[in-house]
Amino acid sequence: MKKVAVIFADGCEEVEGLSVIDVLRRLGIQADMVGLTSTTVNGAHNIKLTCDKTVADSLLDYDIVALPGGTTGAENLRDNKKLADLMIKRHNAGKWDAAMCAAPIALARYGVIAGADYTCYPGFEKQTEKDAPNGHFKEDITVTDDEHKVITSRGPATAWAFAYAIAEALGIDTKNLKAGMLYNYLADNIQDSL
């Protein structure tokens, strides 16, 4: 069974992390909520989250590790030495990693997006470019770089697209769930409501 860890840090963007957990679990993928330093996390909007476990060497066993954004949450992820060491080991072993919104600043600091195509929340590319000057910033909703095994996305409104991209990188068919969750309906009709 494929398994994904989503790392929650204090100050995280709750909808970004929980959307990934929700979509992946609906698809039958083991999706674990992993607290950065505690199983109790306070999100950016004061939503208390209870995680399944905390960051440990078991992160090396996951098919994908995903990082939700939120400025404070992303900074906490970026600055945590234990997580950084594990993510560098994952990257060196050729494993998939994912980050959205502000969290690509953590992947940049770890060296994971060096040379990779990626995206992030508007304006955060200035920070990612400092730590990964040879990365290639794109303004797409999601960016999957198969060569570097990195998936990135823009922000809260793109959380479902990010979750589906993670599942698709694992080889999971998302067509029926996209229809069932009205994702295609939204994608097809979003321009009409603007």
* Residues taking part in catalysis: 101
The one-letter amino acid code at 17 reads: G
Beta-carbon count within 10 A of 138 CB: 16
CB count in 10 Å sphere of residue 130 = 11
Q: What amino acid is encoded at 192 in this protein? A: D
**Amino acid letter, residue 164:** Y
How far apart, in Å, are the Cα atoms of 6 and each of 19, 97, 108, 154, 190? 10, 10, 18, 17, 28
68 near 13, Cβ under 8 Å?
Answer: yes
State the residue for tokens 């909703």: 141
